[in-house]
């Protein structure tokens, strides 16, 4: 069954190793091409993540470096990998081809310069998360004790996303900023978040947040980071992950749930779901409890049904 995975950090690893990893088959990459093929991944979203401790004047160049690795190492050297820049591109993928889409995980790289966001959009970014866990000039992240909402810049970014039919990603936002996004964003998405009712973690969503997402036509893509799946993050199984899908379904989200692994951004794993090649283990387990159409929804169709228009 085809998979759309809305979050991985392979570009961060490629940049950290300065091009010394072969994207096609490097064992250090959870989401290398061979593993995507084996796991049935039809589209992989590649996050651009800039660590908040980096000097401000270096952040935009660091983002461009990751985009460069995306073009040179992921696309140019692997003709099966096809960039997704327009939503119609999903329908153009041929058998054997894998779609690759850029996302921005936190807008730290742009500072307060909307021109830089425009450049990243032109390079192919189609999903924008305002923050990582820290605060920045746009909003406060989930790890910022202040817990403030969107700044004027943050609202400008959401407006840019609306005008350009780009997703606004809520996964790392604090609660106040989340509710601001609900007010302003036309295309909200949680690219890699779980249920806080199932696992109490600041990175997960409260029921009222999940319901708001579903009411707005937003998508929630469950994440495989063990600490977000089960409290303590130890001995986590696929069944533990499915509890989050079950809970979101109970809130009315059966047609708005997807997958966002966070592979290459995590260093502990769910048992039997340790890289992209093992994706069908999750699918096979889901098929024990849900219809084939419902599982296809979780795997890819729900996302395709909610593309920005």
113-134 confidence digits (pLDDT tens)? 999 999 999 999 999 999 999 9
Mean pLDDT of 255-261: 99
Name beta bridge partners: 63: none
Q: What string of H, E and C letters represents the secondary structure of 39-108?
A: HCEEEEEEEEECCCCCCHHHHHHHHHHHHHHHHHHHHHCCCCEEECCCHHHHHHCCCCCEEEEEEEECCH
Please tell me the pTM assigned to this model: 0.97
pLDDT tens per residue across span 168-215: 999 999 999 999 999 999 999 999 999 999 999 999 999 999 999 999
Mean pLDDT of 18-39: 97
Confidence class of residue 19 from pLDDT cuts 50, 70 and 90?
A: confident
Mean pLDDT of 259-274: 98
The pLDDT value given to residue 55: 95
The pLDDT value given to residue 76: 98
Name beta bridge partners: 67: none
The DSSP symbol for 306 reads T
Nearest to 127 by CA among 82, 175, 164, 173: 164
The pLDDT value given to residue 220: 99
The pLDDT value given to residue 52: 84
The pLDDT value given to residue 287: 99
Mean pLDDT of 22-36: 98
Structure tokens at 132: 């990582």
The DSSP symbol for 130 reads S
Range of the domain at 89: 3-305
Cα 166 to the chain's mean position, in Å?
Answer: 13
Cα 102 to the chain's mean position, in Å?
Answer: 10
**The pLDDT of residue 151 is above 90:** yes
Mean pLDDT of 34-50: 98
The pLDDT value given to residue 143: 86
**The pLDDT of residue 254 is above 90:** yes
Residue 178 makes CB contacts below 8 A (sequence gap 6+) with 170, 205, 209
**The pLDDT of residue 75 is above 90:** yes
> Domain containing 71 — which CATH number?
3.20.20.140
Report the mean per-residue pLDDT for the chain. 97
Domain total for the chain? 1
């Amino acid at each position: 069954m085809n998979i759309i995975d809305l979050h991985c950090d392979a570009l961060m690893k490629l940049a950290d190793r300065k091009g010394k990893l072969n994207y096609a088959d490097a064992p250090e990459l959870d989401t290398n091409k061979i593993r995507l093929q084996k796991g049935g991944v039809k589209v992989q979203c590649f996050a651009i993540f800039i660590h908040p401790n980096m000097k401000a004047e270096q952040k935009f160049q660091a983002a461009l470096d990751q985009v460069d690795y995306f073009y040179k190492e992921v696309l140019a050297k692997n003709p099966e990998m096809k960039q997704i820049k327009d939503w119609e591109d999903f329908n153009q993928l041929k058998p054997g081809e894998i779609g690759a889409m850029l996302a921005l995980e936190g807008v730290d790289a742009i500072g307060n310069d909307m021109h830089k966001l425009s450049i990243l959009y032109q390079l192919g970014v189609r999903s924008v998360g305002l923050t990582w866990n820290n605060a920045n000039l746009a909003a406060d992240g989930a790890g910022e004790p202040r817990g403030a909402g969107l700044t004027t810049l943050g609202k400008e970014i959401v407006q840019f996303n609306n005008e350009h039919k780009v997703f606004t990603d809520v996964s790392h936002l604090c609660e106040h900023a989340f509710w601001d996004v609900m007010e302003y964003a036309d295309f909200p998405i949680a690219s890699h978040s779980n249920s806080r009712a199932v696992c109490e973690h600041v990175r997960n969503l409260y029921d009222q947040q999940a319901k708001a997402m579903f009411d707005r036509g937003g998508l929630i893509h469950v994440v495989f980071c063990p600490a977000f799946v089960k409290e303590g993050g130890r001995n986590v199984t696929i069944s533990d992950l499915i509890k989050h899908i079950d809970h979101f379904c109970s809130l009315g989200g059966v047609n708005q749930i997807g997958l966002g692994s966070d592979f290459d951004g995590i260093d502990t794993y769910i048992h039997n779901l340790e890289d992209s090649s093992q994706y069908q283990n999750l699918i096979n387990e889901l098929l024990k409890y849900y219809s084939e159409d419902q599982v296809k929804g979780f795997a890819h169709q729900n996302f395709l049904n909610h593309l920005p228009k």
